[in-house]
Amino acid sequence: MRSDKKGSQAGFLAPMYIFTLLFLIGPFVYMIILSFLTRAETWGVVNEFTFRNYTRILEPVYRSTVFNSLKLALDVTFLVILFGYPFGYFMAKLPPRKRGLMMLLLMIPFWTNSLMRLYGWIIIFRANGILDKLLMLLHLTEKPLKLLYSWPAVTVGMVYALLPFMILSVYSSVEKMDWTLVEASRDLGAGPAKAFLTVTLPLSMPGLLSGVILTFVPSVGLFFIADILGGNKIVLLGNVIQEQLMKVHDWPFAAALSVILMLMTSLMILLYRKLTGAAEMEGML
């Protein structure tokens, strides 16, 4: 009887294992092996082991690209926390009817193609666009600003695309909070700020950290936003990988860059698991 049960469980789990092996572990192992091979002179690769693909990343042009990608990811993550945490927090405290309306308004942009939404930012940021006319109408500027194809434009586009993930993560965490703990801290003499820092923020930390992961990890590799709003002036790690694959056809070097990108995002995920594990241990104590 027990053997039949184990056999049925193995049968149910087999498709999951096959899928993981074929579409997750297999491509990742292939990418690592490819990163140590040598590019052929004309097309494809040569089975010659080399570290050259990784040492090239230390060249100034690629080193600055990695640095800029990390800087942009940190800037975007900071801004998303700054705007997304308060939004998700106060949305969770709204009455159910208003909460549902805010959720609907938050999800409506996802019904439109992301490229179309980003092209809308081109209309806003271009010279003599909506933003320029508004600033000049308010006498804040005297001439059109060159915002399109700049670092601020890419940052705004990234924040716009990733902000809902932070809002929803914080909202999910705050909605499940035990508000009697906050009331107890207020009854014991804690002010609003102290109650928030000592009770509300630690309890909502899992949602905040989830939002950070959902923001930081994509922002390191997103390249189509930099292509649309940054032109050829803002080059990120994802742009270099795309160029090496589609134009230069240097697949081993693109694989090495992808491995570095995977390592950076994996470190963030490990840090997230460590922080959430520490938070759960503090909650148990």
pTM: 0.84
Residues 85-89 have a mean pLDDT of: 94
Element (H, E) at 38: strand 38-39
Residues 6+ apart with CB under 8 A from 13: none
Contact between 225 and 154 (Cβ < 8 Å): yes
The pLDDT-based confidence of 284 (bands split at 50, 70, 90) is very low
Task: Give me the amino acid identity at 200.
Answer: T
Q: Tens digits of per-residue pLDDT, 146-172?
A: 788 888 899 999 999 999 999 999 999
Q: Which long-range contacts (CB under 8 A, 24 or more apart) does 243-247 make?
A: none
Which one, of 112, 121, 114, lies nearest residue 157 by Cα? 121
CA dihedral 194, 195, 198, 202 (to 10 degrees): -130
Is the pLDDT confidence value at 221 over 50?
yes
The pLDDT, as a whole number, for residue 9 is 63
Look at residue 138 and give its three-state secondary structure.
Answer: coil
Q: Lowest-pLDDT range, 12-26, 53-67, 222-236?
A: 12-26
Mean pLDDT of the region 178-188: 84
State the Cα–Cα distance between residues 264 and 167, nearest whole angstrom: 24
Find the range with the poorest average confidence among 27-41, 183-197, 224-238, 267-281. 267-281
Please compute the mean of the pLDDT values over residues 239-262 and round it to a whole number: 90
Backbone angles phi, psi at 145, to 5 degrees: -90, 150
> What is the residue whose two structure tokens read 């109408």?
137
Q: For residues 285 and 9, give the distance between their C-alpha atoms in angstroms, rounded to a whole number.
A: 36
Return d(Cα 196, Cα 184) in angstroms, integer: 12
What does the pLDDT average to over 117-124? 86
Name the band, by pLDDT with cuts 50, 70 and 90, for residue 223. Answer: confident
Residue 1 has pLDDT above 50, yes or no: no
Q: Specify the pLDDT at position 264.
A: 85
pLDDT, position 4 = 52
Domains delineated in the chain: 66-276 (1.10.3720.10)
Between 237 and 42, name the one with better pLDDT. Answer: 237
pLDDT reported for residue 53: 93
Give every CB contact of residue 193 below 8 A, 6+ residues apart in sequence.
none
Nearest to 177 by CA among 195, 205, 204: 204
CB 267 within 8 A of CB 219: no
Question: How do residues 44-85 score in pLDDT, each as one tens digit?
Answer: 888 899 999 999 999 998 999 989 999 999 999 999 999 999
Residue type, 118: L
pLDDT at 176: 87
d(Cα 65, Cα 77) in Å, to the nearest integer?
Answer: 18
Predicted local distance difference test score (pLDDT) of residue 6: 56
Q: Which helix (H) or strand (E) holds 82?
A: helix 60-92
Strand partners, 38: 46
User: Contact at 8 Å (CB) between 147 and 133?
Assistant: no
Q: Contact at 8 Å (CB) between 91 and 102? A: yes
